[in-house]
Amino acid sequence: MSKYLFLFRGGMDMRAATPDALQASMMKWKQWMDELVKNGKMLSGEPLDGPGKVLTGTAKKITDGPFAEGKEVVGGYMMIEASGMDEALELSKGCPVLDHEGSVEVRPVMEMRM
Amino acid sequence: MEQQGASGAVGPLVENLFRRESGRLTAALTRFFGSAHLELAEDVVQDTLLKAMREWPFKGVPNDPVAWLHRVARNGAMDRLRRDARGAQLLKEQAPLLRSEWSMAATVNEALRPESLADDQLRMFFACCHPSLPTEQQVALVLKTLCGFGVPEIARAFVTNEETINKRLYRAREAFRALGHLEIPEGEDLSARTEHVLASIYLLFNEGYNATRNPDLIREDLIEEALHLAHLLTQHPATDLPDVHALLALMLFHAARTDARRAADGAIILLADQDRTQWDAELIDLAGQHLVLATRNGGFSSYHLEAAIAGMHAHASSFAATDWAAIVSLYDRLLVLKPHDIVRMNRAVALAEAQGADEGLRALEQVRGLEDHHVFQATRGELMRRAGRTEEARTAFQLALRLATAPQERILLEQRLAAL
């Protein structure tokens, strides 16, 4: 079993979303995540609050980040367990962020053997 | 990470929880902030829903979701008062209690007490239905702020585009902001203002009930919201008025027939052909109770008469057994209060049942101004057919077919034409 990091970007325009749409989306996220938990795939995860800051280089320059548009902002992350990239991708396919043209970045976590 | 919520069993959420609480919180916050700060109230509510949307999938739905939303909204309100430029402006306008950090929490908690939510909704309702706003703007604002519907949903409900609804809401908000503090009117003002409120409820209901143009789920939502708002009025001593019960009775008598009016394939089933065992006996019973309450203290309005007519239909064992003569005389009285062409047309239909198609046609021919209405032409066609004037019936049905837009109505008319 290997670990994979899911990074969620974009998705529905939540500030403009109606209460019904928000509740429906919330339920979809919940169902998807409940399934991951039930199957023992979920290790951890959290939504991220925005907006953040970016610290750059030796000058430690602080900026509001390179986010030109909302869809480039990481809205949350999740650590899951899967047998390989294929399974990790399969698990990510149910993510509701995809319903609104958002993206899931799937990254294998490097295995470090002591 | 907390997983007990996500994995633990949580009861199913009420389907319209976000929408319902959005309306209640917007009302409470707007009453607290004042009408000029409607947008600020709406922002706090949106923040609250967003927080729930992002946290609940991870942490699980709280045991008491309503209490959770209200607590987050109270904290959100304080946060905005401290940090938002509009909040700062509001603090300047508001009582000194809010200015001190020490007394702010107590003031906000007091202002957003769960016990005062129903009152807040009523105040909001009266404000939305202020006479300075045209009815269509009133209803758009009610649906948006009080019922928690979004612009796309309201546009679908009124079969128009989002731009039109946005314009209505924009104008409505301008007038709304000028109202200041939201109050339930008193004295003579109350009855005049209640008329506006009832008119907007009835419009809401009719949009949901009559429009077959768009078999969207929101239609049933509109009926439910109209009933909910009327019920809300009966819960406050100032607005627990005979006319309110009459309107509620009227709507319930109609709502009892909702399922029987539509076939499985969505086709319209006319009153004469409806399976009366499908009518909801509980709703009819409830409607009857409200009609009794409506006649306390000699209450009398067009809603009373319309409820009485709907009640005659609801209690008739069959179409043939309906007391049409009594219904005609109720329409006669209704015409005195509401001299509308639609009422005249409906009276003509009842007259045709009571005294024959020729009498009905004679009454119908005196109705002016509905010639471009497909229901009027379809009614003419039907009465012509019964009077044996087949060719005139065909012309009327063909005209109705040209005027009708809803697919179900067109199907019905085509069947009528084919059967001639």
Q: What separation in angstroms does the CA of B224 have from each of A19, B201, B258, B269?
A: 17, 11, 12, 22
- Phi first, then psi: give them for residue A82, nearest 5 degrees: -150, 160
B312: pLDDT strictly greater than 90? yes
Pick B7's closest partner by Cβ from A23, A25, A38.
A38
d(CA B44, CA B50): 10
d(CA A113, CA B346): 84
pLDDT at site B386: 94
B368: pLDDT strictly greater than 60? yes
B398: pLDDT strictly greater than 60? yes
Instruction: List pLDDT tens digits, range B164-203.
Output: 999 999 999 999 999 888 888 888 888 888 988 998 899 8
d(CA A92, CA A77): 12
| Any B CB within 8 A of A47 CB | yes
CATH architecture of A2-108: 2-Layer Sandwich (3.30)
**Sheet of strand A74-82: strand arrangement:** A42-47, A74-82, A2-9, A103-108
Top residue of B4, B7, B15, B18 to mutate, by most chain A CBs within 10 Å, is: B18
pLDDT at site B97: 59
Count the neighbouring beta carbons within 10 Å of the beta carbon of residue B163: 10
- Break chain A into its structural domains and give their ranges: 2-108
| Per-residue tokens: A80 | 């899951």
B405 vs B218 pLDDT, higher one: B405
Smallest Cα–Cα separation from B247: which of B279, B276, B204, B218? B204
What's the ipTM?
0.89
One-letter amino acid identity for B38? L
CB atoms B58 and A17 under 8 Å: no
Cα–chain center distance at B134: 16
* pLDDT class of A85 with cuts at 50, 70, 90: very high
Q: Scanning the structure block, which residue is given the tokens 């379809």? A: B378
pLDDT at site B218: 53
Pick B57's closest partner by Cβ from A17, A19, A29.
A29
d(CA B401, CA B405): 8
Instruction: List pLDDT tens digits, range B287-296.
Output: 999 999 999 8
Measured between CA atoms, the residue of chain B closest to residue A39 is B7
| Count of A-B CB contacts under 8 Å | 74
Top residue of A6, A13, A22 to mutate, by most chain B CBs within 10 Å, is: A22
Instruction: List pLDDT tens digits, range B77-107.
Output: 988 888 877 777 777 776 665 666 667 777 7
pLDDT at site A12: 86
Answer whether B99's CB lies under 8 Å from B113's CB.
no
pLDDT at site B207: 80
Instruction: List pLDDT tens digits, range A95-110.
Output: 999 998 899 999 999 9
pLDDT at site B12: 57
DSSP annotation of A49 reads -
B4: pLDDT strictly greater than 50? no
Q: What separation in angstroms does the CA of B147 have from each of B53, B116, B274, B309, B397?
A: 19, 17, 32, 29, 39
Give the mean pLDDT of chain B: 87
Q: Which domain holds residue B66?
A: 4-112
CB atoms A18 and B53 under 8 Å: no
CB atoms A46 and B19 under 8 Å: no
The answer to the question of residue B50 being in a domain is yes
Smallest Cα–Cα separation from B399: which of B378, B385, B379? B378
d(CA B313, CA B260): 13
Instruction: List pLDDT tens digits, range B220-278.
Output: 888 888 999 999 999 999 999 999 999 999 999 999 998 888 887 777 888 999 999 99
Look at B40-44, B203-207, B291-295 and tell me which has the smallest mean pLDDT: B203-207
| Per-residue tokens: B156 | 């679908």
Number of domains composing chain B: 1
